[in-house]
Amino acid sequence: MINQEDKIKKMKIEEVKKRIKEYGKELKELEESCSHTTITIKMSGKIKCCICGKDLGWECWNSPDQVCHYSTHFDQENNCRTLKLRDGTDHAIPLKHYNELLESLDTCLFCGKPFIRQDKIVEESIVLLA
| Tens digits of residue pLDDT in 13-56 | 999 999 999 999 998 898 888 888 887 777 778 888 888 888 88
Assess whether pLDDT exceeds 80 at residue 103: no
Contacts of 3 (CB under 8 A, 6+ apart): none
Q: Report how far apart, in Å, the C-alpha atoms of 48 and of each of 36, 37, 101 are.
A: 8, 10, 28
53, 6: one domain? no
72, 96: one domain? yes
3, 25: one domain? yes
Assess whether pLDDT exceeds 80 at residue 99: no
The pTM for the full model equals 0.63
Assess whether pLDDT exceeds 50 at residue 68: yes
44, 67: one domain? yes
Averaged pLDDT of the chain? 81
54, 78: one domain? yes
